[in-house]
Amino acid sequence: MTAAAAGAMAVWRSCWRALRTLSGDDAYDRYCRHQQVAHPELPLMSRKAFYVDEQQRKWGSINRCC
């Protein structure tokens, strides 16, 4: 692989990671990394349980001022 191709791939990967972060697609991956570092003694939620918990957190209560 040429240096230009490697550089283009690095830019592509960086853009892809940024897009996943902005869209929330990597939320479960970030949760897993955080739990392993900050709370290794606790078991990880399954992907499905994490999704249900996030939906409840986001939409389970009134999130507006009036």
Give per-residue pLDDT as tens, 4-47. 999 999 999 999 999 999 998 999 999 999 999 999 999 999 99
- Domain carrying residue 39: 3-59
Residue 24 falls inside a structural domain: yes
Assign 62 a pLDDT band (cuts: 50, 70, 90). Answer: confident
User: pTM to 2 decimals?
Assistant: 0.71
**Which residue, 24, 44, 49, is CA-closest to 34?**
44
State the total domains in the chain: 1
Cβ-based burial of 2 (10 A; exposed 0-12, middle 13-18, buried ≥19): exposed
Residue 12 falls inside a structural domain: yes
Calpha distance 2→22 (Å, rounded)? 30
